[in-house]
Amino acid sequence: AAGYVPSSGFEDGQFDMIYVSQEVKVRVMGISNKDPGHLMLSMSQSHKALAYFKKVPPNKWFPAVVTQIVNNGVQVRVRSQRGKHVMGFVHVGNISDDFVDHPSDELEVDQDIQVRVVGVDERAERVLLSTRDEDADALSDFKGLSHKEWLPGVV
C-alpha cells in the first residue's frame, strides 16, 4: 500500500537523515481523507511524550519554535521539561485575543514563542496549543457540556 509521512511524523533531525529507497519502520496512523487509498504514517515515537502533555495544567507554559505556517494556524516544535520534543499546533483562533486574518500576520517560521496546552490529538500525534492566556479562552466553561443540557440565555 502507498502512504506518506507528514512532517509531524518525524523526530527532530530525522527527516534530514532519510534518503530515497531507505528501509524504515513506520506506524500506520490512519487512512488519508485527502488522498484515498493512501496511508498516513509516522516514524515518530512522540506518542510516548504525548502522555506527559495530557497531564499538564492549562496554565503551564512551554517554549516552542514555529516550524510551519498554514492558513489555519502554525505548527510548532514544543520541548517538554523532560527534554522531549513533540509537534504541536496553534490554531489561528488561539494565536491572539484579537482577530488574526492569517497566522503569518503575527508569527514567522523559526520564531520562539511560549505556548500552553489546550488538548492532545492522539491520532495526529500532536499537542493542541494556545499562545493566549487561559482567561482569554471564554468558551472553556462550555467544553464538555452535553447537547442535551439547556442553558439560560438572552436574545
The pLDDT score that the predictor gives to residue 54 is 84
- One-letter amino acid at 5 equals V
CA distance 125 to 30: 12
The pLDDT score that the predictor gives to residue 55 is 86
The pLDDT score that the predictor gives to residue 61 is 93
The pLDDT score that the predictor gives to residue 113 is 97
Along the 155 residues of the chain, how does pLDDT read in single tens digits?
778 777 666 665 566 677 888 888 887 777 777 777 888 777 766 666 677 888 888 889 999 999 889 999 999 988 766 666 778 899 999 999 889 999 999 999 999 999 999 998 877 777 899 999 876 555 666 777 777 888 888 88
CA atoms within 13 A on the CB side of 129: 30
The pLDDT score that the predictor gives to residue 114 is 96
What pTM does this model have?
A: 0.63
The pLDDT score that the predictor gives to residue 10 is 66
The pLDDT score that the predictor gives to residue 132 is 93
The pLDDT score that the predictor gives to residue 131 is 95
The pLDDT score that the predictor gives to residue 104 is 96
The DSSP call for residue 144 is T
DSSP string of 56-80?
S-TT-EEEEEEEEEETTEEEEEEE-
The pLDDT score that the predictor gives to residue 135 is 67
